[in-house]
Structure 1
């Protein structure tokens, strides 16, 4: 067999490399580079340089300075070399830190090598454990682990994918749990019993009870040789009994304690349930399963409706480390690396032994598990360094970091029990790892049994209405719940209570923002926090309530992810923010993902300051609303009909329009998806609009239009009003009030309709959009709420709105939905400064370029049969593009109208102009607002093209 892409026999090449490797001493500084070069040659390259790899690649260090990655070959692999005999487990944090910062084209795989062993990581899949380990002398037989090193990349064949193993085990246990609940057992009882079974499976594979003991009991029950009620009940009672059994089946079972077995109420499982439980015990080595199983089990056992309501989400370990690393690990790690004396190291170890961590929305305890594990590893690093500088015979202190330093709050009672079990496993795993790292050198290690009682550490309760314990760091992933859904999901009474408890919080802030604010208030000077939130935490009211509060009250954002695709089940983009209460010198690291796929590329920047908008560009969060814009009546959201009964398909509309009474109230109705996604941008439906009818008498004048609404809309409006009343709403509740005029849209936008009715056309864009696409729409068409409508009919105004200047302002000032941008009138339009003194020639140039752009779009779409979406997608393809050229011509004309220099930063310029105009308005001076400048004849700058409706009557 030959190396892919070369004539070289694979085995011969690998054996030659192994023969060369045996000649090396394993000196990190003297031999790493030649080792790496020969490794690349073994896989069919002329050498690392010819393959395109780089040695000693500079990576920024948090807090300032640089580190050097031994080899980087984008986008395949990062390799970090250590001297022979070095324990590789001590260095994965360093490799992960490098990996996080290596954007764009972050390598998929990371190798740690100490000349004798290679550990292979895929941090996107699992962080703590390598995907596989390879001894160098095994290379001729196991080179497939490193398949990605060949010139023609191949899929590596790993033997330690613990994620897959964990999911299989979780699936088996979840099947039992869901089956037991489905057949009528109470959920809390079933959950507690299955958690006891899971702990027993871990215990037998950790050999805390005899190996195979639980598996044997499950097999006996499965074969009918005993009931699970008796067999498991007896085991669990003995695990909770401090008095050892003097004989019988459970002799030798140790005392566990810890709270989990304090209530033993076994369940008699049926044959199918016993089959899956036995399968889970028999086919899985639970000592090798990731504790994230509990997160999976947690979600598997909750109904989908409940999971959404509580905002429960699974977090990948790589995302957890984006919080734990900068908030807990790096500050201590920097101090350990800088320590020169035994006294400094003793002080660090003492501080570590008292360092307390809180997750105020801990779920199944995944963040807490990682935090505890990393504290233990930091302690091991300090001990190893102390041992290296201490004189022979010096007494080295034993590890003291305890799981009792870890605290959590969780709303769900099952989550509380899961978190306790997760931390119990963290303790046992940490003990084993420390023994491996530190060796048997007389240190006194902790003992796994009896289990620590964590009832005072992990507390059930709503974190926003529960006192938080005093701690040194706060981490976690608070519930995701948008402001728009909060009342619907949590109930009006809860929202009222929340507003009363946090009156200073903006009413439109997302739910997770409350955790940011409370966390900062809870921190003492010098303490740190790291939280995951929806990416709206950097925008508008959510930013004001959270991150603005942090930076305005002594906080410094040290490390953040502006936006990334969420690793869990929720279809959202998230932000991750880490901060310290106080000052921190040196550069701050900001990264962000570009795209809406989990595999989308990353970018990053090291900045002197990370602003509350988590933006690498100019911070425009301080821009002010301009009265000339806000009072112009030039920007509105479209209509929200509120019920599908208001909408008509083409044939229905054709019939309705035959009724003379109904005809004036039936209008073409355009959505953003239709405007951008349909050929010709035509609307597909029609809408009944009786919003001018203030009483039922005038509404009834609409003939068949009213009759349709009476049949289709009124019954449901009544049902919703009744439901609101039954839930305790006041007589003036929104749905009850709306029912008094049920024939009207939920939001009819009467002022907007009045404005556009006086014009032949208006400008529109999608309220949520991925690309800058504006279009003229005929005023006979009603805009849906998914459109932002600008009652401006001239080509100059269109040109300003379609310009890249306006688009950059929209991206910086609007909110986001996944990777798309949301146009918000109060933050985007009201603050956007329009050109103040353009000459008639400059206005003409903008208008002409706008007309040319639209003409080009229409020609191409007609020739190709494309929609606007199809056309604008061509901009994603490199190369000359007439659409790009037309947009650049328009941008140049708009820059000239602003008197903006060609290389001047758009946001910096617009922010400065916004400030000047706000100051002028504050002094009572008039400024130029939206629209065609005064003194110009609109007819000279207005053409007639626009989206127009198709005729009614077509299907």
Structure 2
């Protein structure tokens, strides 16, 4: 554990005390189980001061911190072992407290001089004197320190630690130059170019810890698992949120706030002044957090260390402003939507793509049946920009011999253009089935069979829009295809409610950091409204109008793209004056009419849910998450509101109840990849605890379902151990809770 601003070691002292208690509880539990420390592969290991690291600029405080740790360790020893002497040497120099700057390293520093060569000094930031007139404390003009210039400043390197904690200095951005000196502040900003100069001093610690946590490698046990800091409550303000947001919103290695208190009373150790602070704990990955709010404060004039507080806790996704959001990530896939959506085919062979002229040369239009195997082809850019007008050879369902006999010209083409590429592929199935697409999407094809058209959207796109594609068009892997020809469904998907959900549930990808429509997170869990016949008719009319309007304008203006259309639509919403190219797109696309269609769709879809049409996006997400849970509960009882019942449930068979809602909502579905259950006992304990923290309350069976090769009989004693040492509680009836 590292405290990179440890002062005289108070945080490290408390951490050592708590870890020694935990060590004792674990050893007692092992004894009760008839096991020994060797069972954890930790024979001979113990908690002692060498595991508690600190960085401190003040040399006196750094020396005190090391002494404080040893005092705490020896106090524990004598409380536990009585008068028995500790092992010698009693004190050891682990060099775990380093006296150095926690943020900056530099090659050298020189005294700053002004234009006349005179040394530049500043107030020391601490010493005050009485003003001769007002009698108030003011900076002492004689308390001056040298201003330094730093040569080649760079970020300081921190010792490796699994956990980082601390209470870094509270210095606002506006005071940094005065408190730290112009030279140091400038060197700091130079060493950390990504940090906004409006960010408080404490945020530099937050930035460094966040980078360490995002680099955590669970399999190798490398990096920082979690970090937690006490900061000023201005952490929530825009100028400090700019530090948090890139970490929380990173599309590849996001950080999550797993615990936060936005506003809490505190006593500043330096001067005893009452201040307001925020507490944040963060970890790598996307996971819900616990937001704790101070509901009441009881101040006592005789209480030197602050006041008593009453706290309230909620669970969900915590945003950079330390506000709780709807737990969209916790929504479960619904059976009502299953089997309808999928990415399109993945070719693994550029030779499958041909021009219309090449298709005719291969026999399309002259050889019977070849139209089914050389098809029109669309990818994401074809939808958002100008279509390429290409076709694709699709031989799914045919053997190599059948292709060679029935379509010899096609066979020779792919033999020349596809097979050499496939022969170099590392996957054996791709080599053996070289004439078939690498991922032919066997599950998608039945959903599209028999339809004249289907719905598609680009997997990654700046604007989220849906449109119909003709059935003879084969979708590429960068399209999400939805097996329905119902214009009412197109309208719902195009509504503000679904787009808000898709933006929250999907990640972001690509150079432009564009939203990504992940079908398993955006489509499968989405709770569609239950429509009356009248609502269905109105939404069908609007869906047809939306799709028809855009296609008609693109046909009339072949260079008009969907991206340009929706760029201008967003500007119209924002009441931006149309000029130049935007004005041309506005007129060609009849964008005002398009906006009107979208507004009507939004109103009709809100009415179908029986919700107000002017809900904020946060309220929309909260309601949709709640509805997802309600639908999951219905499905657990056997009520499934099939989205396309004639395909998904043609026999009209009633679904079999699957138990209580929590069993369905908390269990991992068969279609979701499950993590392997760890083999070592410490890793098993950590995995079970993490699963319980995420679920809040669960049975051993529900925990076991979240892992491959985990059994309830294995999970149950682990939960009992967690309850025994205070990390869980027995909720009764075989259930455990945090």
Larger strand fraction of residues: 2
Larger helix fraction of residues: 1
